[in-house]
Amino acid sequence: MSELSKIEWTEATWNPVRGCTKISPGCKHCYAETFAERFRGVKGHPYERGFDLRTVPNKLAEPLRWRTPKMIFVNSMSDLFHEGVPEEYIVAVARVMVAANWHTYQILTKRAGRMRELLNATLEFAARQPHIWWGVSVEDQKYGLSRVDDLRAAAASVRFLSIEPLLEDLGRLNLNGMHWVIVGGESGPGARPMKKEWVVSIRDQCRASKVPFFFKQWGGVHKAQTGRRLEGKTYDGFPRRVEHPVMPPERCLRAASEIESFFEPNDFLGLSALA
């Protein structure tokens, strides 16, 4: 969406894919859908086609042009592993992340099975890079816990859980192989409530397993009022970030045009069939 982000656990967002379709209860109040649908039909707006799924090849090379190292949330407005995104396009996104390695990338999906399969095969070259963090969303036991197992079975160097919106007590979590846990309550109109004991249980399990814990927000209808303190404390845990030198500008430009020459500048998917 933009070079700067208000999301508490990242610094910037990069959306080489836009739009998505709902898959589980965590999607009910999808902020990305609400935002995108506001602009449906607005000529020339990036979300002129609302929340319809589409690739955006002219955004592919963006991180190669950002010269200051950033923590980048990849596809804040979509799901990279959506079944409608072609594998060769996902590989191209991964190539950019590997090339522009002075940034740290955070990829978050609810399509954990596809992510596992690809990380263990075509995306192996990106899976082992410590500057690329692979994560799954977990909202409840029924849909969320199997995603954690898929993530654990993926050959990723850094794995994380985004437990947001937390909709119920998750019980005993298997945190083996996890490097970061984010927890947050739902916010906005109609927000579903989150109980303190559910959050405390996850925090305590992270503490026992020595997994960094980040408490994003209580949420609710007015999230500014409920804040992000838990038992009087702010939790801002992160995995360790690796540092790589920034590529010289001429190499960046070359890499960017190589990537861009691979795809048509306009959407290369006619995805109306998926809408």
Q: What angle do CA 241, 245, 248 make, to 5 degrees?
A: 145
Nearer to ligand SF4, 23 or 145 (CB): 23
Nearer to ligand SF4, 84 or 220 (CB): 84
Q: Shortest gap between Cβ of 255 and ligand SF4 (angstroms)? A: 28
Reading the block at residue 247, the tokens are 């590529």
Q: Shortest gap between Cβ of 22 and ligand SF4 (angstroms)? A: 5
Q: Shortest gap between Cβ of 188 and ligand SF4 (angstroms)? A: 13
Q: Shortest gap between Cβ of 130 and ligand SF4 (angstroms)? A: 25
Map the footprint of ligand SF4 across residues 23-52, applying CB under 6 A.
Answer: 23, 26-27, 30, 32-33
Identify which of 214, 226, 101 has the alpha carbon closest to the alpha carbon of residue 162: 214
Nearer to ligand SF4, 189 or 245 (CB): 189
Instruction: Say which DSSP state 240 is in.
Output: P
CB within 8 Å of 101: residues ≥ 6 apart? 129, 131, 244
Map the footprint of ligand SF4 across residues 71-100, applying CB under 6 A.
Answer: 78-79
Q: Are strands 71-74 and 12-14 parallel, antiparallel or unpaired?
A: parallel
**Residues 267 and 57: beta-carbon distance below 8 Å:** yes
Nearer to ligand SF4, 32 or 96 (CB): 32
Nearer to ligand SF4, 69 or 135 (CB): 135
Q: Shortest gap between Cβ of 82 and ligand SF4 (angstroms)? A: 7
22: contact with ligand SF4 by CB under 6 A = yes
CB within 8 Å of 121: residues ≥ 6 apart? none
Nearer to ligand SF4, 26 or 135 (CB): 26
CA distances from 65 to 62, 92, 143, 255 (A): 5, 16, 37, 10
Please tell me the distance from the alpha carbon of residue 31 to that of residue 27, in angstroms, as a whole number.
9
Q: Shortest gap between Cβ of 172 and ligand SF4 (angstroms)? A: 25
The footprint of ligand SF4 (CB under 6 A) covers 20, 22-23, 26-27, 30, 32-33, 78-79, 110
